[in-house]
Amino acid sequence: MKILLPLFFATIAAIGNSIFAYGQKKSVIDDQHGLIFISLSVFIAFILVFSTSFLFGKYNFEKVIVNNWSSILYSGIGLFLTYIGFFFLYTKFGVLNYALYAVISIITTTLIVGALILKEPINIYHLGAILFSVISIFLFSLAQ
């Protein structure tokens, strides 16, 4: 039953991503205003995250920043790239292309960040899942 809590949080993230994809695909903007659209959606996300953060107890802003400044920088750059990539992927090519992102994300996040950089344990089942995800890119390209 160790999978239930990770599955729950993954489901929350997947639902959020679906709403995010829908919002971006339904946007009516031209190329010149894509970054404004992204900025406003980031602002809404900021308000929601910041306002719900108080529900999880007390914290010290200064301590969070001092102890985590480099991680905050990495995460901010990562979110920026994610927003930009999703915006153009969804608005120019459609949400069906999310499969490409998902598989590439499995490789970059699980294999490169998780296994190689953070040295998290990886087993034969993980490797099998990664192999099948790579095969899915090939099948996806045939579908196009």
Whether the predicted model's global pTM rises above the 0.85 cut? no
Asked whether the predicted pLDDT for residue 3 surpasses 70, the reply is yes
104, with CB counted inside 10 A (0-12, 13-18, 19+), is: middle
Sign of CA dihedral 100, 109, 76, 43: positive
Give the confidence band of 32 by pLDDT, cuts at 50, 70, 90: low
In order of 62, 65, 68, the CA distances from 59 in angstroms are 9, 11, 13
Confidence class for position 34, pLDDT limits 50, 70, 90: confident
